[in-house]
């Protein structure tokens, strides 16, 4: 409630995994959204994963990719990697191997 983005992300992970609390994907996603809005790149990436897999939200590859891009832009290597996977497979975007390679390269440069 204090707008500490990393705290929202961490609490979201607990609800996502059901560790110490009852598993609740919708609550996890709300916390990830709050974290992402607070400029926490991990929260953006996890929200992207939720949309990609349809966990607690309607599956939406385009929305997943939007969150992956926010995560990548925020320095979260997993977001860059996930965008690479999207372009490699053509999920939510037009399949493009060279664009996939660029996103994979950025993930690598960040440390993934």
At residue 63's C-alpha, the angle toward residues 57 and 69, to 5°, is 130
Q: What is the pLDDT of residues 46-105, one digit of tens each?
A: 999 999 999 999 999 999 999 999 999 999 999 999 999 999 999 999 999 999 999 999
pLDDT (tens digit per residue) in 2-37: 678 989 999 999 999 998 899 999 999 999 999 999
Specify whether the CB–CB gap between 25 and 19 falls below 8 A. no
pTM: 0.93
């Amino acid at each position: 409630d204090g707008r500490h983005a990393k705290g929202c992300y961490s609490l979201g992970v607990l609800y996502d995994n059901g560790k110490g609390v009852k598993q609740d994907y919708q609550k996890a996603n709300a916390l990830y959204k709050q974290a992402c809005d607070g400029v926490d790149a991990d929260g953006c990436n996890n929200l992207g994963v939720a949309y990609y897999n349809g966990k607690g939200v309607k599956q939406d590859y385009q929305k997943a990719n939007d969150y992956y891009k926010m995560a990548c832009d925020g320095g979260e290597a997993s977001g860059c990697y996930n965008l690479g996977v999207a372009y490699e497979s053509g999920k939510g975007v037009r399949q493009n191997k060279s664009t996939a390679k660029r996103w994979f390269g950025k993930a690598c440069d960040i440390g993934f």
